[in-house]
């Protein structure tokens, strides 16, 4: 919808990141934390490029 209104946007999906950029990670606590860290880095890069970046991630940790 954002793109339809002329807003530069990209939906960053956690499942897609898991299959690609984070494909080397498992589901240990450390790997889950690294997965979210990488996702945050990518979202930040998109933001810096001027895109609105809605994100869909699940983290089992309240602190993350």
- The set of catalytic residues is 59
**Dist CA 1 CA 6 (whole Å):** 9
**Dist CA 46 CA 52 (whole Å):** 8
The runs of H, that is alpha helices, within 1-64 are 14-19, 29-48
């Amino acid at each position: 919808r954002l793109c339809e209104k002329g807003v530069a946007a990209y939906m960053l999906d956690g499942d897609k990141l898991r299959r690609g950029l984070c494909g080397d990670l498992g589901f240990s606590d450390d790997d889950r934390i690294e997965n979210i860290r990488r996702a945050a880095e990518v979202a930040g890069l998109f933001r810096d490029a001027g895109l609105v970046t809605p994100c869909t991630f699940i983290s089992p940790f309240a602190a993350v």
